[in-house]
Chain A
Amino acid sequence: MDFVLKHYQEGKFDTQKAIKRFNEAHGIVQKPRRRVLPWVSGIVAAAAAVVLCVLLFRDNDQQIQLMASAEVQEFVLPDGSEVTLTPGSRLTYNEKSPRNTHLEGKAFFEVARDEAVPFEITADGAFVRVLGTKFMVDAGSSVKEVYVTEGKVLFAKSSDVEGVILTKDMQATLSQSDQLPVIAVEADVNTIAWQRGSFIFDMTPLKEVLKTLSEHYKVSFAATDLDKQLSGEFYAEDLDLIISLIESALDVHIIKR
């Protein structure tokens, strides 16, 4: 530690700068590298970027639509609730009742508590009602999914039928043929890795680790020793770094395809 501290200078040993310098010196034109999890860092920038509100008019009531285009975007709703939308997802609400929302796609909610007015989310074939809590809703595919990180959530097919109550660290899915959501025996903490910004593994076989990573980063992997187990928390900014850390931790070799 002392050695590093003695020599530390801000902005030095910067790999990105070095790559640029190298490429310039060798006439290499860098292919635009697909940014890994562009949305995670997007969350940070997005606080100031609530630009994408599209206003639609219907019967003099303003229908407000929030949409995330290329990056994950975070919005603060009029009631103080925060919603983080994944790219391509849309949240719609009426200006007069901002706690009645409609979701297309996937979003993480941090709902401001209001005992008098429950916060409701409808989606095509799913209904969620809460008082104040943190949870994710994935209405992006035919199987709807809810993951709760804090508080209590009612998850049902629609507002007028029976549903299930989910609490902290519970996860449930609802397929079109089901009447009642099915609660997962063991919630997968990495369901909300995109929102938390990190992956958590606990004695997870490498096979599962790579499956999780490939779902999030949309790349596939091949590796040796798929049965070795990994534990630890990995920050989601840089897939290459995660891969290299896993490689050195487990003494395996992983390639991206």
Chain B
Amino acid sequence: MVFAAQDNSSFDDLFRYNYRPLCLYALHYLQDVDLAEDVVQESYAALWEKLQEGTHVLNRKSYLYMMVRNRCLDHLRKKGIPTESLKPYDTYGIIDDDDAQERSQTEARLWTAIDSLPEKCREVFILSKRDGLKYEEIAEELGLSVNTVRNQISKALKVLKEGVHKLYTFFFA
């Protein structure tokens, strides 16, 4: 059997597995999707350069999280946000950094699940849950019946629940 250290994962794999979670993590600090993507790109670039120089990075994944956090904090400081408020947030308030890291994995999966909803279903769902529109308003905006809107939303919820369950629930002994 070959035992490989976590560290041996290729850069490609690091990108593939961690890009979306890192974006969600950055989002907890920045509350801005585009900015989060930039920060994550920069962090990968920094790691890439380190590795090109031949630097040995022991745990690349935690190193990436650390770099993303530092860049987020830099960014917020530049915006003049007082140091004591440089904290990750979720919808309800401050969370701690470990939480933000841990949650980023699940949140990335949820993001993926929303991505994979049928287009119409996603549109209705997002208008309702993100934009807080009432069923009647969505129906009017999209030219659908209120009933269709209701059905699409419950379909979305069902798919997300099942999708997340199927893909991410494991029972193991």
* A residues with CB within 8 A of B: 1-10, 12-13, 15, 18-19, 21-22, 25-26, 203, 222-224, 226, 228-235, 240-241, 244-245, 248-250, 253, 255, 257
Contact = CB atoms under 8 A, between A and B. Distances in A.
A6 B1 contact: no
Contacts of B4: 222, 253, 255
A8 B111 contact: yes
Max chain B CB contacts within 10 Å: which of A6, A19, A222? A6
Interface string B42-78: 0011001000000000000000000000000000000
25 contacts: A2-B92, A3-B28, A3-B90, A4-B110, A5-B114, A6-B130, A8-B111, A12-B23, A13-B19, A13-B37, A15-B15, A18-B37, A22-B15, A22-B44, A223-B1, A224-B1, A231-B171, A232-B167, A240-B16, A240-B17, A241-B17, A245-B168, A250-B172, A253-B3, A255-B4
Interface residues of B, number: 51
B87 interface: no
B1 A226 contact: yes
Interface in B1-49: 1-6, 8, 12-13, 15-17, 19-20, 23-24, 27-28, 31, 33-34, 36-37, 40-41, 44-45, 48
Contacts, number: 118
A86 to B, nearest CB: 25
Nearest to B107: A4
Given A13-B111, A25-B45, A253-B6, A2 B1 contact: no
Contacts of A248: 105
A13 B170 contact: no
A13 B36 CA distance: 9
Nearest to A255: B4
A229 B173 contact: yes
B169 interface: yes
B15 A230 contact: no
